[in-house]
Structure 1
Amino acid sequence: MAPPQARDLTRVDFRDQHEGPAADAPLEELVLRLFRYRPRWVDIAMGVRHFLVRPFGLDTTSASDVPPSLDEGTRAGPFWILSVNPDEIVAGLDDRHLDFRVYLTKKQGLVVRTDVLFHNALGRIYFALIRLGHVWVVRSMLRGTAHARAA
Protein backbone atom coordinates (compact mmCIF):
# COMPACT_ATOMS: atom_id res chain seq x y z
CA MET A 1 0.00 0.00 0.00
CA ALA A 2 1.37 3.42 -0.99
CA PRO A 3 1.64 6.31 1.44
CA PRO A 4 -1.28 8.73 1.52
CA GLN A 5 -0.93 11.59 -0.96
CA ALA A 6 -2.55 14.32 1.10
CA ARG A 7 -1.37 15.41 4.54
CA ASP A 8 -4.71 16.68 5.84
CA LEU A 9 -8.14 15.16 5.38
CA THR A 10 -10.74 16.95 3.25
CA ARG A 11 -13.32 16.47 6.00
CA VAL A 12 -13.21 15.20 9.59
CA ASP A 13 -16.02 12.85 10.68
CA PHE A 14 -14.43 11.95 14.04
CA ARG A 15 -11.78 13.65 16.14
CA ASP A 16 -10.37 12.95 19.57
CA GLN A 17 -7.33 14.06 21.50
CA HIS A 18 -5.43 12.59 24.45
CA GLU A 19 -2.36 13.76 26.37
CA GLY A 20 0.18 11.55 28.12
CA PRO A 21 2.03 12.23 31.36
CA ALA A 22 4.62 14.99 31.55
CA ALA A 23 7.83 13.94 29.84
CA ASP A 24 11.24 15.55 29.45
CA ALA A 25 12.19 14.16 26.04
CA PRO A 26 12.16 15.43 22.45
CA LEU A 27 9.01 14.90 20.39
CA GLU A 28 10.49 12.25 18.08
CA GLU A 29 11.72 10.18 21.02
CA LEU A 30 8.26 10.30 22.63
CA VAL A 31 6.60 9.27 19.36
CA LEU A 32 9.02 6.35 18.95
CA ARG A 33 8.24 5.29 22.52
CA LEU A 34 4.52 5.50 21.75
CA PHE A 35 4.82 3.38 18.61
CA ARG A 36 7.03 0.79 20.31
CA TYR A 37 5.21 0.40 23.63
CA ARG A 38 2.19 -1.87 23.58
CA PRO A 39 0.84 -3.82 26.51
CA ARG A 40 0.30 -7.50 25.72
CA TRP A 41 -3.50 -7.03 25.60
CA VAL A 42 -3.08 -4.50 22.76
CA ASP A 43 -1.09 -7.04 20.71
CA ILE A 44 -3.81 -9.63 21.30
CA ALA A 45 -6.58 -7.18 20.36
CA MET A 46 -4.74 -6.18 17.18
CA GLY A 47 -4.25 -9.84 16.26
CA VAL A 48 -7.99 -10.43 16.57
CA ARG A 49 -8.68 -7.27 14.56
CA HIS A 50 -6.33 -8.39 11.76
CA PHE A 51 -7.96 -11.84 11.64
CA LEU A 52 -11.45 -10.32 11.39
CA VAL A 53 -10.71 -7.64 8.77
CA ARG A 54 -8.35 -9.54 6.47
CA PRO A 55 -11.28 -11.02 4.42
CA PHE A 56 -12.48 -7.46 3.71
CA GLY A 57 -9.11 -6.42 2.26
CA LEU A 58 -8.32 -3.91 5.02
CA ASP A 59 -4.74 -3.06 6.00
CA THR A 60 -3.22 -5.53 8.48
CA THR A 61 0.37 -4.28 8.62
CA SER A 62 2.15 -5.31 11.80
CA ALA A 63 2.36 -2.75 14.56
CA SER A 64 5.72 -4.13 15.67
CA ASP A 65 7.84 -2.88 12.75
CA VAL A 66 9.05 0.52 13.95
CA PRO A 67 12.23 2.01 12.44
CA PRO A 68 15.02 3.57 14.54
CA SER A 69 13.98 7.07 13.39
CA LEU A 70 10.93 8.66 11.81
CA ASP A 71 11.33 9.80 8.22
CA GLU A 72 8.64 11.13 5.88
CA GLY A 73 7.36 8.50 3.47
CA THR A 74 8.36 5.53 5.64
CA ARG A 75 6.25 3.23 7.78
CA ALA A 76 6.25 3.05 11.55
CA GLY A 77 4.16 0.02 12.40
CA PRO A 78 0.79 0.36 10.69
CA PHE A 79 1.23 4.08 10.02
CA TRP A 80 2.80 6.03 7.18
CA ILE A 81 4.89 8.95 8.42
CA LEU A 82 3.57 11.90 6.45
CA SER A 83 5.34 14.87 8.00
CA VAL A 84 8.14 15.33 10.51
CA ASN A 85 9.19 18.62 12.04
CA PRO A 86 10.29 19.68 15.54
CA ASP A 87 6.77 20.76 16.56
CA GLU A 88 4.57 18.08 14.97
CA ILE A 89 4.75 14.61 13.50
CA VAL A 90 1.86 13.48 11.32
CA ALA A 91 1.13 9.83 10.59
CA GLY A 92 -1.80 8.25 8.81
CA LEU A 93 -3.30 5.73 6.50
CA ASP A 94 -5.76 5.86 3.62
CA ASP A 95 -7.93 2.78 3.10
CA ARG A 96 -11.06 1.90 1.14
CA HIS A 97 -13.35 2.35 4.13
CA LEU A 98 -11.76 5.32 5.93
CA ASP A 99 -8.71 7.57 6.09
CA PHE A 100 -7.12 8.75 9.31
CA ARG A 101 -4.41 11.09 10.46
CA VAL A 102 -2.62 11.06 13.79
CA TYR A 103 -1.15 14.41 14.81
CA LEU A 104 1.57 14.10 17.46
CA THR A 105 2.70 17.19 19.34
CA LYS A 106 4.18 17.93 22.74
CA LYS A 107 2.86 20.15 25.50
CA GLN A 108 3.83 18.90 28.96
CA GLY A 109 3.45 15.35 27.63
CA LEU A 110 2.87 13.79 24.24
CA VAL A 111 -0.46 14.83 22.68
CA VAL A 112 -2.16 12.47 20.22
CA ARG A 113 -4.97 13.83 18.06
CA THR A 114 -6.76 11.46 15.72
CA ASP A 115 -8.86 12.66 12.77
CA VAL A 116 -10.96 10.17 10.77
CA LEU A 117 -12.76 10.52 7.43
CA PHE A 118 -15.32 7.84 6.56
CA HIS A 119 -15.72 6.82 2.90
CA ASN A 120 -18.71 4.52 3.20
CA ALA A 121 -20.99 2.56 5.52
CA LEU A 122 -18.27 -0.04 6.14
CA GLY A 123 -16.01 2.72 7.49
CA ARG A 124 -18.71 3.97 9.85
CA ILE A 125 -19.55 0.45 11.05
CA TYR A 126 -15.90 -0.52 11.44
CA PHE A 127 -15.08 2.60 13.44
CA ALA A 128 -18.19 2.26 15.61
CA LEU A 129 -16.95 -1.23 16.53
CA ILE A 130 -13.36 -0.18 17.34
CA ARG A 131 -13.97 3.30 18.78
CA LEU A 132 -13.91 2.28 22.44
CA GLY A 133 -10.85 0.12 21.84
CA HIS A 134 -9.16 3.04 20.06
CA VAL A 135 -9.52 5.21 23.17
CA TRP A 136 -8.22 2.48 25.49
CA VAL A 137 -5.27 1.69 23.22
CA VAL A 138 -4.22 5.34 22.80
CA ARG A 139 -4.49 6.10 26.54
CA SER A 140 -2.63 2.92 27.50
CA MET A 141 0.16 3.57 25.00
CA LEU A 142 0.47 7.18 26.19
CA ARG A 143 0.88 6.02 29.80
CA GLY A 144 3.59 3.66 28.59
CA THR A 145 5.63 6.45 27.01
CA ALA A 146 6.66 7.52 30.50
CA HIS A 147 8.33 4.15 31.10
CA ALA A 148 9.39 2.95 27.66
CA ARG A 149 12.66 3.73 25.94
CA ALA A 150 12.92 5.02 22.38
CA ALA A 151 15.28 2.24 21.26
Structure 2
Amino acid sequence: MKIPEKSLLNTQHFDYSDSFEKEFVSKQTHINSSELGKLFFSSGSPWIKKLFSLRNKIVKIFGLKASEHQETKEFNYEPGDQIGLFKVLEKNDHEIIIGEDDKHLNFRVSLMLDNENNQQHNRKLTITTIVTYNNWWGKLYFFPVKPFHKMIVPSMLNGIVKNLS
Protein backbone atom coordinates (compact mmCIF):
# COMPACT_ATOMS: atom_id res chain seq x y z
CA MET A 1 0.00 0.00 0.00
CA LYS A 2 1.19 3.54 -0.76
CA ILE A 3 1.79 6.30 1.75
CA PRO A 4 -1.57 8.01 2.39
CA GLU A 5 -1.94 11.31 0.52
CA LYS A 6 -2.64 13.28 3.71
CA SER A 7 0.41 11.89 5.56
CA LEU A 8 3.19 14.16 6.76
CA LEU A 9 5.59 11.54 5.34
CA ASN A 10 4.71 12.44 1.75
CA THR A 11 7.41 15.12 1.67
CA GLN A 12 10.18 12.77 2.82
CA HIS A 13 12.81 10.92 0.77
CA PHE A 14 13.01 7.17 1.41
CA ASP A 15 14.45 3.92 0.06
CA TYR A 16 11.78 1.63 1.53
CA SER A 17 8.18 2.15 2.56
CA ASP A 18 5.16 0.15 3.60
CA SER A 19 1.70 0.97 4.93
CA PHE A 20 -0.84 -1.12 6.76
CA GLU A 21 -4.37 0.07 7.44
CA LYS A 22 -7.42 -1.14 9.29
CA GLU A 23 -10.96 0.20 9.38
CA PHE A 24 -12.89 0.08 12.62
CA VAL A 25 -15.78 1.61 14.52
CA SER A 26 -14.76 3.70 17.51
CA LYS A 27 -16.79 4.41 20.62
CA GLN A 28 -14.79 7.61 21.12
CA THR A 29 -15.76 10.78 19.29
CA HIS A 30 -12.26 12.32 19.31
CA ILE A 31 -8.96 10.47 19.26
CA ASN A 32 -5.85 12.62 18.98
CA SER A 33 -2.38 11.72 17.78
CA SER A 34 -0.93 11.66 21.32
CA GLU A 35 -3.38 8.89 22.17
CA LEU A 36 -2.21 6.99 19.08
CA GLY A 37 1.38 7.33 20.27
CA LYS A 38 0.50 6.02 23.70
CA LEU A 39 -1.34 3.05 22.20
CA PHE A 40 1.60 2.31 19.88
CA PHE A 41 3.83 1.73 22.90
CA SER A 42 1.25 -0.10 25.01
CA SER A 43 -0.47 -2.38 22.47
CA GLY A 44 2.41 -4.67 21.56
CA SER A 45 2.26 -8.40 22.16
CA PRO A 46 4.79 -10.10 24.48
CA TRP A 47 6.50 -11.75 21.48
CA ILE A 48 7.14 -8.30 19.99
CA LYS A 49 8.77 -7.13 23.22
CA LYS A 50 11.01 -10.21 23.18
CA LEU A 51 12.05 -9.50 19.58
CA PHE A 52 12.94 -5.90 20.47
CA SER A 53 14.97 -7.16 23.43
CA LEU A 54 16.87 -9.54 21.15
CA ARG A 55 17.39 -6.74 18.61
CA ASN A 56 18.83 -4.48 21.30
CA LYS A 57 21.35 -7.12 22.38
CA ILE A 58 22.49 -7.71 18.81
CA VAL A 59 22.81 -4.07 17.70
CA LYS A 60 24.86 -3.07 20.76
CA ILE A 61 27.61 -5.33 19.43
CA PHE A 62 27.76 -3.21 16.26
CA GLY A 63 27.60 0.14 18.06
CA LEU A 64 24.08 0.98 16.90
CA LYS A 65 21.40 2.62 19.01
CA ALA A 66 19.50 0.34 21.35
CA SER A 67 16.35 1.25 23.18
CA GLU A 68 16.15 1.21 26.92
CA HIS A 69 12.84 0.61 28.66
CA GLN A 70 11.19 3.84 29.66
CA GLU A 71 7.94 4.49 31.49
CA THR A 72 5.37 5.58 28.91
CA LYS A 73 3.12 7.30 31.45
CA GLU A 74 5.65 10.14 31.77
CA PHE A 75 5.91 10.58 28.00
CA ASN A 76 4.03 13.63 26.63
CA TYR A 77 4.10 12.61 22.93
CA GLU A 78 5.27 16.05 21.83
CA PRO A 79 7.94 16.73 19.18
CA GLY A 80 11.38 16.17 20.70
CA ASP A 81 10.15 13.70 23.33
CA GLN A 82 11.98 10.38 23.25
CA ILE A 83 10.95 6.97 24.50
CA GLY A 84 13.49 4.24 23.97
CA LEU A 85 14.58 4.22 20.35
CA PHE A 86 11.68 6.38 19.18
CA LYS A 87 11.62 10.17 19.11
CA VAL A 88 8.50 12.18 18.30
CA LEU A 89 9.50 14.09 15.18
CA GLU A 90 6.24 15.68 14.01
CA LYS A 91 2.60 15.66 14.89
CA ASN A 92 -0.71 17.22 14.13
CA ASP A 93 -4.18 16.36 15.43
CA HIS A 94 -4.61 13.21 13.32
CA GLU A 95 -1.02 11.98 12.81
CA ILE A 96 2.13 11.43 14.85
CA ILE A 97 5.54 10.69 13.31
CA ILE A 98 8.06 8.83 15.43
CA GLY A 99 11.47 7.58 14.40
CA GLU A 100 15.19 7.93 14.74
CA ASP A 101 18.32 8.68 12.77
CA ASP A 102 21.28 6.35 13.15
CA LYS A 103 24.57 6.02 11.34
CA HIS A 104 23.33 3.15 9.15
CA LEU A 105 19.71 4.18 8.47
CA ASN A 106 16.94 6.59 9.37
CA PHE A 107 13.39 5.46 9.94
CA ARG A 108 10.02 7.11 10.39
CA VAL A 109 6.76 5.57 11.57
CA SER A 110 3.50 7.38 10.99
CA LEU A 111 0.35 6.62 12.97
CA MET A 112 -2.47 8.33 11.13
CA LEU A 113 -6.16 8.28 11.97
CA ASP A 114 -8.70 9.20 9.33
CA ASN A 115 -12.48 9.44 9.52
CA GLU A 116 -14.06 7.27 6.86
CA ASN A 117 -16.75 8.97 4.80
CA ASN A 118 -16.81 11.84 7.33
CA GLN A 119 -18.78 9.69 9.74
CA GLN A 120 -17.81 10.36 13.34
CA HIS A 121 -17.30 6.78 14.54
CA ASN A 122 -16.11 5.02 11.36
CA ARG A 123 -12.34 5.31 11.37
CA LYS A 124 -9.27 4.09 9.54
CA LEU A 125 -5.89 3.74 11.20
CA THR A 126 -2.82 3.58 8.98
CA ILE A 127 0.69 2.75 10.13
CA THR A 128 3.31 3.72 7.56
CA THR A 129 7.03 3.11 7.82
CA ILE A 130 9.73 4.68 5.69
CA VAL A 131 13.43 3.83 5.81
CA THR A 132 16.35 5.73 4.32
CA TYR A 133 19.66 3.89 4.04
CA ASN A 134 22.69 5.99 4.97
CA ASN A 135 25.17 3.37 3.74
CA TRP A 136 25.35 -0.27 2.73
CA TRP A 137 25.23 -1.30 6.42
CA GLY A 138 21.69 0.11 6.47
CA LYS A 139 20.62 -2.15 3.63
CA LEU A 140 22.38 -5.10 5.25
CA TYR A 141 20.79 -4.38 8.63
CA PHE A 142 17.27 -3.98 7.26
CA PHE A 143 17.37 -7.10 5.06
CA PRO A 144 16.81 -9.60 7.94
CA VAL A 145 14.65 -7.10 9.87
CA LYS A 146 12.13 -6.61 7.03
CA PRO A 147 10.27 -9.97 7.39
CA PHE A 148 9.86 -9.40 11.14
CA HIS A 149 8.78 -5.81 10.53
CA LYS A 150 6.04 -7.06 8.18
CA MET A 151 4.73 -9.30 11.00
CA ILE A 152 5.16 -6.82 13.85
CA VAL A 153 3.41 -3.79 12.32
CA PRO A 154 0.11 -5.54 11.45
CA SER A 155 0.10 -7.11 14.92
CA MET A 156 0.59 -3.70 16.53
CA LEU A 157 -2.09 -2.22 14.26
CA ASN A 158 -4.54 -4.88 15.42
CA GLY A 159 -3.63 -4.22 19.06
CA ILE A 160 -4.15 -0.47 18.72
CA VAL A 161 -7.49 -0.92 16.92
CA LYS A 162 -8.61 -3.39 19.57
CA ASN A 163 -7.94 -0.75 22.22
CA LEU A 164 -9.76 1.93 20.23
CA SER A 165 -12.84 -0.18 19.40
SS of residue in 1 equivalent to 2:162? coil
RMSD: 2.2
Q: Is the 8 A contact 1:16 1:114 kept in 2?
A: yes
SS of residue in 1 equivalent to 2:163? coil
Counterparts in 2 of 1:123-138, with a 5 A limit? 123-138=138-153
SS of residue in 2 equivalent to 1:148? helix
d(CA) in 2 for partners of 1:58 and 1:10?
23
SS of residue in 2 equivalent to 1:15? strand
How far does the alpha carbon of each residue in 1:57-114 deviate from its partner, in whole angstroms, 9 at most, with x for none? 1111136542453111001342100112113211110000000111221122321111
Residue 19 of structure 2 aligns with which residue? 17
Structure 2 spans left out of the alignment, 5+ residues: 1-7, 115-122
1:10, CA displacement in angstroms?
Answer: 5.8
d(CA) in 2 for partners of 1:62 and 1:12?
26
Relative to total residues, which structure has the larger helix share, 1 or 2? 2
Q: Normalising to structure 1: TM-score of the pair?
A: 0.83
More displaced, 44-53 or 65-74?
Answer: 65-74
d(CA) in 2 for partners of 1:118 and 1:46?
20
SS of residue in 2 equivalent to 1:52? helix
Q: Is the 8 A contact 1:118 1:124 kept in 2?
A: yes
Letter in 2 for 1:27: N
Residue 143 of structure 1 aligns with which residue? 158
More displaced, 17-26 or 75-84?
Answer: 17-26
1:38, CA displacement in angstroms?
Answer: 1.3
Counterparts in 2 of 1:1-151, with a 5 A limit? 11-24=13-26, 25=28, 26-28=31-33, 29-62=35-68, 65-66=71-72, 67-107=74-114, 108-148=123-163
Letter in 2 for 1:14: Y
More displaced, 62-71 or 124-133?
Answer: 62-71
> Percent of aligned pairs with the same residue?
29
The alpha-carbon distance between structure 1 residues 10 and 84, as it changes in their structure 2 partners (threshold 3 A), is closer
Q: Is the 8 A contact 1:98 1:117 kept in 2?
A: yes
SS of residue in 1 equivalent to 2:19? strand
d(CA) in 2 for partners of 1:143 and 1:33?
11
